[in-house]
Amino acid sequence: MSDVRDEVGAETVAELHATALELIDVARTIIERAWADGFTVERKRDGSFVTNADLEVEQRLRTSITQRYPEHGILGEEFPALNPHARFQWILDPIDGTEDFVHRVPTFGTILALYYRGRPVIGVLDHAALNLRASAAFRLGTYSNGARVRLDNTEVPSHSTRLILSARANFTRFRDEGHKFDALVRAFPNHRIYRSCFGHTLVAIGAADAMVDYQDRVWDIAAVPILVEEAGGAYHVVSEFDTPEGARVYSTVFGKHNVVTRLTALLK
């Protein structure tokens, strides 16, 4: 199979994966210290939370990436894009679920991904307060705390499918697609609602069967495609559109193949 990502070369992919893990170690150290010793909290213009830990992680990672790979692009939640036309693009969300972090719910996480010509090469999800990390690299597999994981794609009946959803608020965030949430909770009664990063990790390591994550920005969902693909699962963008302010918004379904097939059919 020809894949544009093979241009990167296996050795470079392995090196970039190692670099991503070093970067996420830096992020974890900053977040562990803030979680233990405290942090400052502010509200952004959209009302969402940002802490000094979010800003410090993103700044530190941007500096490290720029030093090693000055020609690479960087797209993060808290600062403007760098080198937006570069072939390699790092995408990061320093703390996904900052609201949970602020309220001391330990399921927040850090999202880091690397794309090459628009295709995912590296993905890392790290949960400092859970000592849990999922990572993947193109043609190198998916790992849970360093151990290789592969999804079990045997059939799961709908009533016992372990499905993760985003909150109903996500389904109505920019467009009202609340009826899709209502259909999902009826068809798949064994559901949970978690924030993106925690849900993505659980699906990537096979702890849940699938997730339906609605109306996200690119940094929310940047890591999960390669994590799921390399674990042997499926990832689909079920819709994407631009907000009136020009922000691209994605709704996605991913996890075990047969569950994703059923979910995609239901969401059509």
Give min distance, CB of 162 to a copy of itself, in A.
7
CA distance 13 to 5: 9
DSSP string, 97-120: THHHHHTT-TT-EEEEEEEETTEE
Give min distance, CB of 147 to a copy of itself, in A.
11
CA distance 14 to 7: 13
Q: Does 183 bind a copy of itself (CB under 8 A)?
A: no
- For a copy of itself, the closer of residues 14 and 187 by Cβ is 187
Selected range binding a copy of itself among 20-28, 72-80, 158-166, 218-226, rule: CB under 8 A: 158-166
Q: Judge contact between 88 and 114, C-beta under 8 A.
A: yes
Q: Does 167 bind a copy of itself (CB under 8 A)?
A: yes
Tokens of 18: 């190692």
Q: Does 207 bind a copy of itself (CB under 8 A)?
A: yes
Closest by CA to 14, choosing from 109, 141, 128, is 141
Q: Site for a copy of itself (CB under 8 A): how many residues?
A: 35
CA distance 266 to 130: 33
- For a copy of itself, the closer of residues 89 and 161 by Cβ is 161
Give the pairing of strands 141-144 and 132-137: antiparallel
- Residue from 22, 182, 240, 242 in contact with a copy of itself (CB under 8 A): 182
DSSP state of 82: B
Positions in 119-138 near a copy of itself (CB under 8 A): 129-130, 132
* Interface contacts to a copy of itself, rule CB under 8 A: 47, 99-100, 103-107, 129-130, 132, 160, 162, 165, 167-169, 172, 178, 181-182, 185-186, 189-195, 202, 205-208
